[in-house]
A and B are shown apart, each in its own frame.
Chain A
Amino acid sequence: MVSVSLQDDNIRVKVPKGKTLRQVAATTGASMEFGCRVGDCITCVARVKSGMIYLSEKNEKELKALEILGGNVSQLRLMCQCYVRCEEGEIVISYAV
């Protein structure tokens, strides 16, 4: 499983391949914010401080959101859209963007 650290909440959770970060938030009770939950509102944008390669490729909605946000967005992802795509690895996430 992939170890996901939610820095702002002091949570470290082992996550099986295929789970979205939204499912991770729901299971752990993390304080991450969500709005629409379908990739339209950008509320759930968070910073992946390390381990981006263990997450799914950015989908169309994410690419569009990042384009709207502009600037340096290389570490940003929508937590309601991306999911863990590997069996092993380590991901560190911070909600501050």
Chain B
Amino acid sequence: MVDLITKITKSVDFIGAFDPKIRTFDIIMKTANGSSYNSYVVRGSEGVAIMDTVKKEFSEDFFKRLEFMCDYEEIKYIVLHHLEPDHSGALIELMQKAPKAKLIISGRAVMMLKGLIKSDIEFEVANTGRIISLGDKTIEFLSTPFLHWPDTMSSYLHEEKVLFSGDVFGSHYYDERLFDDEVGDFSYAFKYYYDHIMRPFKQYVLQALKLYDTFDIKVIAPLHGPILRTNPQFYIDKYAQWSSEAKFRKHEFGKKMLSVFYMSSYDNTHLMAKKIMDGADSVEGVVASMYDLASLDEQNMIDLLEESDAIIIGSPTINGDAVKPAWDLLSCMAFLESNGKIGASFGSYGWTGEAPEMLHDRMRWLKFRLPVRPLKIKLIPTEDEQQSCFEFGVEIAEITMGKMVEMEMEI
């Protein structure tokens, strides 16, 4: 039997589900303390709104709580702040039980809905500024995309100053005491969630915080873990700090960071790396550094990638491929934001030489900006070729400093 009442504010109740046993979330996250799928019901004088649902396996708990709080007839709106299955799992059943309810999703969710729910259902789109009324209660929507799905939005209950933030400010931390001032120490879970889910979208976090800043927030009601009611600003400030911090002091001096990563067996790619770095470093305003991939561990890679404005990767071609540490380096981009970072690749080769092209292609998929073609040199770089490495470095550094790139496309 589930504990049936949990009052959040005067007209908001918790109707989510607890998942104390889960230990791995979304394949990528460890959840030592389990988690919760938070869902809420908002009651107004003219009906109720259901804010998100739960993971499918937990539908029973969800419906039990929901039925305790309201009749299906009363449900005027169902809001999904993003469509991920951990919150949309009970949607279909809910819509069958509450056929009069109107589903509200964001614009970017429209096409996803079709992919997720293989049937036609009716919905309405909410963009920033859209308001719905429950009589004496008003809910306003804010578009907060990419946190962490493209279709994420948030909403705000004006009369009680509650922010429904979606996964933003969430923690995988199961504790039925529910409120930040009553649960155990969840600070590690709050930070871990940010690092694994929000960190790749820092720019969008900052945009969302700007929007949140225009509201007076008394309670943050996220989709996982504790509800934040003691001092919401504390958690907002944490997100602001994590999203804007540059670990390295170079940025504070207004310099751009350019990192050359390489691996080399007979020093040919190493020599190229050195010349590229020298070229880049000769450009005013750029600090260039080079790193041997053979001895970088993953956390260092992630930090260096995050701090670098430009990333140049060198690998020899070995058995028709780039070396594994180069791929490992690029795999770390899954934890980071690559939009706007400049990328380039190079390498020495013996006969086929596909490694730099392959790295270039991979970087394109990872949304790097790739202003120059890969640089390949057959075996040992000659004096002239070393000079072209130097110029390659200069060119990338100048583009990093904001040089306008002029090009012409072929017909």
Contact B399 A10 (CB under 8 A): yes
Interface size of A by Cβ–Cβ distance < 8 Å? 30
Please tell me which one of the listed residues B129, B364, B370, B409 contacts residue A14 in the complex, with CB atoms under 8 A apart: B409
Check: A82 CB closer than 8 A to any chain B CB. Answer: no
Which partner residue on chain A sits nearest B407 by CB separation? A13
Contact of A42 among B107, B372, B402, B405 (CB under 8 A): B107
Contact present for B405 and A28 (CB under 8 Å): yes
A56 in the interface (beta carbon within 8 A): no
The answer, among A14, A23, A41, A43, for a CB contact under 8 Å with B408, is A14
In Å, the complex CA distance between A2 and B349 comes to: 39
B377-411 CB contacts (< 8 Å) to partner A: 399, 402-411
Least Cβ distance of B180 to chain A in Å? 34
Q: Does A9 contact B (CB under 8 A)?
A: yes
* A28 with B408, Cβ < 8 A, contacts A70-B125, A71-B127 known: no
- Alpha-carbon distance A18/B340, docked complex (angstroms): 27
| A29 and B364 in contact, given A10-B399, A42-B111 (Cβ under 8 angstroms) | yes
* Cβ–Cβ contact A12 & B125, under 8 A: no
Chain A nearest CB, measured from B208 CB (Å): 15
Q: Does B371 contact A (CB under 8 A)?
A: yes
Residues of A within 8 A of B364 (CB): 26, 29
Q: Are A27 and B407 in contact (CB under 8 A)?
A: yes
Most buried by B among A1, A9, A23: A9
Residues 97-122 of B contacting A (Cβ, < 8 Å)? 107-108, 110-111
**Size bracket, chain B contacts:** 20 to 34
Task: Please judge, given known A-B contacts A12-B404, A15-B409, whether A69 and B107 are in contact too, CB under 8 Å.
Answer: yes
Q: Is B368 engaged at the interface, CB distance under 8 Å to the other chain?
A: yes
Residue numbers in A under 8 Å from B127 (CB-CB)? 69-71
Q: Is B339 an interface residue (CB 8 A)?
A: yes
A-B contact pairs, 19 of them (CB 8 A): A10-B405, A11-B404, A12-B405, A13-B406, A14-B407, A14-B408, A16-B410, A16-B411, A29-B368, A29-B371, A30-B369, A31-B369, A33-B367, A35-B150, A36-B111, A40-B111, A42-B107, A69-B107, A70-B127
